[in-house]
């Protein structure tokens, strides 16, 4: 069951932590824990889904901001890294990887949040 309130709170927590410098791997996990802790019910599946949506959405925002702010993504830089891809390809890869990583980490956080909720009773 999708819990919009929990997803929204988790998304906001993830974005705020990211702006405070705790982005990367820690923010989506903590946001997922918050989602799993405040959502209705104690179902791991719901924790995975809701935490994943929250973490994925926040990571998608981060990826889009990184692409917009990064003016140094160019074919020259890609060739230097040994990648033979256009800037557009690198942008798409950045967005897809960011979304995937955020979704997985948010889901892990959702599982942890549900486990903590069950442990509290």
Residue in 50, 23, 20 with CA at minimum distance from that of residue 113: 50
**% of the chain residues with pLDDT over 70:** 85
Residues 6+ apart with CB under 8 A from 28: 14, 54, 55, 58, 59, 101, 102, 105, 106, 109
Q: What is this structure's pTM?
A: 0.85
pLDDT at site 15: 92
Share of the chain above pLDDT 90, in %: 55
Q: Is residue 103 pLDDT above 60, yes or no?
A: yes
Compute the average pLDDT of residues 87-105: 86
Largest Cα separation within the chain, whole Å, is 56
100 lies in which domain range? 4-120
Q: Would you give the DSSP letter of residue 25?
A: T
Domain count, the chain: 1
Encode pLDDT of 12-68 as tens digits.
Answer: 999 999 888 877 789 999 999 999 999 988 899 999 999 999 999 999 998 888 777
The residue among 9 and 1 whose pLDDT is bigger is: 9
Q: What is the mean pLDDT of the chain?
A: 86
């Amino acid at each position: 069951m999708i819990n919009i309130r929990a997803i929204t709170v988790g998304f906001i927590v993830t974005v705020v932590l990211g702006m405070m410098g705790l982005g990367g791997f820690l923010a989506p996990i903590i946001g997922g824990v918050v989602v799993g802790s405040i959502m209705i019910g104690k179902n791991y599946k719901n924790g995975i889904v809701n935490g994943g949506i929250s973490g994925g959405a926040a990571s998608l925002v981060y990826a889009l901001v990184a692409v917009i702010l990064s003016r140094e993504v160019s074919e020259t830089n890609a060739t230097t890294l040994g990648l033979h891809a256009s800037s557009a390809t690198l942008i798409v890869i950045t967005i897809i990887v960011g979304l995937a990583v955020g979704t997985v980490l948010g889901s892990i956080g959702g599982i942890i949040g549900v486990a903590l909720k069950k442990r509290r009773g």
